[in-house]
Chains A and B, each alone.
Chain A
Amino acid sequence: MKIVVPVKRVIDYNVKVRVKADHSGVDVSNVKMSMNPFDEIAVEEAVRIKEAGNADEVIVVSCGVASCQETLRSALALGADRAIIVETDVELQPLAVAKLLAAICHKEKPQLVICGKQAIDDDANQTGQMLAALMGWGQATCASKITLNENVATVTREIDGGLETLEFPLPAVISADLRLNAPRYATLPNIMKAKKKPLETINPGALGVDVAPRLRTLKFSEPPKRGAGIKVADVAQLIDKLKHEAKVL
């Protein structure tokens, strides 16, 4: 069985993003880029499934600019077997990414796609569901536990009120939530080995996918700043302020 894991290159989660002065975008100059944290969890899960003998190959795919190769190399260092970059300078929106991934799925015929639940840049939480729809497959988003048995997946999902467990036949798409696993760190020998693993470059045209954006961003802005209030001396003053100033008690 093959597992495909889509990985997105995003601004590192520790960076506080700023909007450019002319509102045309966010400032990405000299900003640290990393693999989307949820995608690291997805790669880790796929590698664990392979290590447990339930998969033969883990293929990581990234869509975007040429430097996504770095992200793919990190995924290879975590234990993925080979990588595909769908290279384009066009701004990719979730529907376009889902179509590119669907084209890859038609080619590679994986039994399972594990993606991240959301990219921490666009916070869209869409791509996995869209891919599942395009393939006519079942889906389980926000997974916190995955069990595979032959061609059946049992997945526990984090939902608003708690947890639910679904069972469905493969192929399917599963998206990883934070508590699915704790990803390993890449060791130096594995980082070296990753450099020699195969990495294929494809362009969207070769996959027959139109990636033109459907949404036009008119403006980037910063939300209204919330200023710091005051420090109170003790509990008595806190209660007094909440009662008489804020009037919320």
Chain B
Amino acid sequence: MAILVIAEHNNVSLHASTLNTVSAASRIASLTSSEIHVLVGGAACRAVAEAAARIAGVAKVKLADLPHLGDMTAESHAALIVAEVTNGTTAYSHILSPATSHGKNTLPRVAALLDVAQISEIIAVEDVDTFVRPFYAGNVLVTVKSSDVTKVITVRTTGFDAAISEGGTAVIEDTSATPDAKQPRLISRELSKSTRPELGAAKVIVSGGRGLGNGENFQSVLGPLADKLGAALGATRAAVDAGFVPNDYQVGQTGKIVAPQLYIAVGISGAFQHLAGMKDSKVIVAINKDPDAPIFQIADYGLVADLFTAVPEFTAAL
């Protein structure tokens, strides 16, 4: 038996979340002494397979390089994974994907087609069949044991360290799986362009809430601070709903889950739906003019101040 990790990528480069997922797979592999294989499905994506082959601990990379897989639709990728698992040469005990948009979109489909449960966003491996995952916006942790033959799992990247991305020498094998090509048509994809680091990968995050007042303030007050710190920008749902920033800035229960070294919350009240996405950050700073804001209950360093004076002062002093 082997463990199959689904690579997250954009046909050009391997996404870092794949490394955390390989780490989770290694935890399981250490209990079962099974091999880790990485499945790379996409179009003109051999470079991704080569990067996956260099990850320490990976034994084999399965490459499905087919034009219709390039748009990353759930339909085509679920069909690929199911074909690989049911018709391929290797028997897989576990299928793991990072809990990215693509993973969350695709793996439940895979699980239903295999008639097994899917386990969402695990943060720890207790045993080959036993995993810990959050419930209720992370206010509760549950330990679940699966009775299914194939465990289909998404992995919360903040729960596992990244595997080492260099030094591995896995073989790359073209898969013989012939997935169904029926899928929706991708009309457009608008990705936010930014020179700042990605939220999921950033060591420092400067995050803003409704207290910023509008989109212009958001950029003019937080932008310079983020630039000085080499930080990513994040936001609350309230800030996104009000149109200050695009949707992919949202941190929280229903947005991104992050755990940087330093999280600076500015003009954020600290609703638990927001805390769900950032409370595992190493150091949390909160700047809020309301001394009773709940964010202060989890902040390592709280500054009660008007953000419009405190943040520029902070930026200037760095």
Cα distance A137–B184 in the bound complex, in angstroms: 10
Q: B108–A232 contact, CB under 8 A?
A: no
Best-surrounded residue of A98, A236, A242 (most CB of chain B within 10 A): A242
Q: Which residues of A contact B279 (CB under 8 A)?
A: 226
Whether B196 is near chain A, meaning CB under 8 Å from some CB there, is no
Cross-chain contact of B247 among A95, A163, A242 (Cβ < 8 A): A163
**Which of B273, B282, B283 has the most CB atoms of chain A within a 10 A radius of its CB?**
B283
What residues of chain B lie closer than 8 Å to A13, measured between beta carbons? 273
Q: Check A126 against B108 for contact (C-beta < 8 Å).
A: yes
Stretch at the interface among B33-41, B216-224, B291-299: B291-299
Which one, A94, A167, A235, contacts B187 given CB within 8 A? A167
Query: Interface extent on A, as a size class?
Result: 35 or more
Judge whether B139 and A125 touch: CB under 8 Å: no
Contact flags (1/0) for A127-142 with B, using CB distance below 8 Å?
A: 1111111100011111
Q: CB of A202 within 8 A of chain B?
A: no
CB proximity of A187 to chain B, nearest CB, Å: 24
A26-B136 CB under 8 A given contacts A160-B101, A164-B186, A230-B302: yes
Chain A residue numbers with a CB within 8 Å of B297 are: 228
| C-alpha spacing A132/B282, complex, angstroms | 39
Pair A178/B100 contact, Cβ less than 8 Å: no
The answer to whether A148 has its CB under 8 Å from any CB of chain B is: no
Interface residues of A in 163-182 (CB under 8 A from B): 163-168, 177-179
Name which of B72-80, B87-95, B161-169, B170-178 contacts chain A.
Answer: B72-80
Interface residues of B in 89-125 (CB under 8 A from A): 100-102, 104-113, 115-121
Produce 1/0 per residue, A190-234, CB < 8 A to B.
000000000000000000000000111111111100101111101
User: Which one, B137, B184, B204, contacts A168 given CB within 8 A?
Assistant: B184
Among B108, B143, B262, B299, the residue within 8 A (CB) of A221 is: B143
Contact count band on B: 35 or more
Q: Which of B134, B184, B299, B300 contacts A166 (CB under 8 A)?
A: B184
* A128→B185 CA distance, assembly (Å): 19
In contact, A142 and B101 (Cβ under 8 angstroms): yes
Closest to B263 in A: A248
Which residue from chain B places its CB closest to the CB of A23 in the assembled complex?
Answer: B143
Inter-chain contacts of B298 with A (CB < 8 A): 226, 228
CA separation between A18 and B138, bound complex, in Å? 11
Q: Which 5 A-B pairs have the closest CB atoms?
A: A229-B300, A168-B184, A129-B108, A130-B112, A126-B108
Complex A-B: 30 CB contacts under 8 Å: A13-B273, A17-B136, A17-B140, A93-B117, A120-B254, A122-B135, A123-B253, A129-B105, A132-B109, A133-B110, A134-B112, A139-B75, A141-B104, A142-B101, A159-B189, A159-B248, A160-B101, A178-B237, A179-B241, A215-B147, A230-B302, A231-B304, A238-B314, A239-B314, A241-B301, A242-B262, A242-B301, A246-B262, A248-B204, A249-B229
Interfacial residues, chain B to chain A (CB-CB below 8 A)? 73-75, 78, 100-102, 104-113, 115-121, 130, 134-148, 183-192, 200, 204, 229, 237, 240-241, 246-248, 253-254, 256, 261-262, 272-273, 279, 282-285, 291, 296-305, 310, 313-314, 317-318
